[in-house]
Amino acid sequence: MSNPLPLDAWASRPVTEVAVSLLGSTLRHGLTTVRITEVEAYEGESDPASHAHRGPTRRTQVMFGPPGRLYVYRSHGLHWCANIVCGPQGRASAVLLRGGDVIAGETEARTRRGGVPYERLARGPGNLASALGLTGADSGALLSRAPLHWRPASDPPGEVCRGPRVGVSGAADREWRFWLAGEPSVSAYRRSARAQPG
């Protein structure tokens, strides 16, 4: 089971623990709200798969804290992807939001995503950010300040599964992907052709 952690407790907890606690929580951006069903944890400088592995850069500075902010980046020059920063000031860690259910603002999400089936509106990190209308302009935004609003899960969300992260080349066997069993919004696992163990 996942137990919600208050935002102010994130900095003192392992990033994997924070990742599990985010399952079942909700993130609202404007009129659209997504219930989070799938996440991946990234630890920072000690994690070869993390954007912060080589230290802070202009793009990744927000990952180095304080917690409770979004880190939004463009993947492969195509899609925006959203992470929740959870490490203390000076130590990078963040949780990638990989999948979710749109529970409010479905009309707005469908406008952004086109005519895809409901379960695919926010399946996959690029689709989730698109459904919420997040872009690079939202990187660094506080989860506690409009137009964002994050709320922890009010009840245990269900059975939590874990496995390797999707599509990463570094530390590809690290089981830091977590998802809720039986949720159709959870994406399929794809191992990178350049995957390195660890």
Residue range 132-138: average pLDDT?
97
Q: What percent of the chain has a predicted confidence (pLDDT) above 90?
A: 64
Q: How many domains does the chain have?
A: 1
Return the amino acid letter for 173. D
Helix (H) or strand (E) holding 99: strand 94-104
Would you say residue 195 lies in a domain?
A: no
Would you say residue 93 lies in a domain?
A: yes
Would you say residue 197 lies in a domain?
A: no
Other Cβ atoms closer than 10 A to 87: 25
Would you say residue 14 lies in a domain?
A: yes
| DSSP state at residue 10 | G
pLDDT-derived band at 2 (thresholds 50, 70, 90) equals very low
Would you say residue 132 lies in a domain?
A: yes
pLDDT at residue 1, as a whole number? 40
Q: What is the pTM of this model?
A: 0.92
Bridge partners (DSSP) listed for residue 34:
27, 102
Would you say residue 107 lies in a domain?
A: yes
Domain at 22, CATH number: 3.10.300.10
Mean pLDDT is lowest, of 55-64, 100-109, 116-125, for 55-64
Per-residue pLDDT reduced to its tens digit, 139-188: 999 998 999 999 998 787 889 999 999 988 788 889 999 999 999 999 98
Alpha-carbon distance 32 to 63, whole Å? 24
Query: Which domain, by its residues, includes 86?
Result: 7-180
Alpha-carbon distance 198 to 196, whole Å? 7
Would you say residue 188 lies in a domain?
A: no
Would you say residue 191 lies in a domain?
A: no
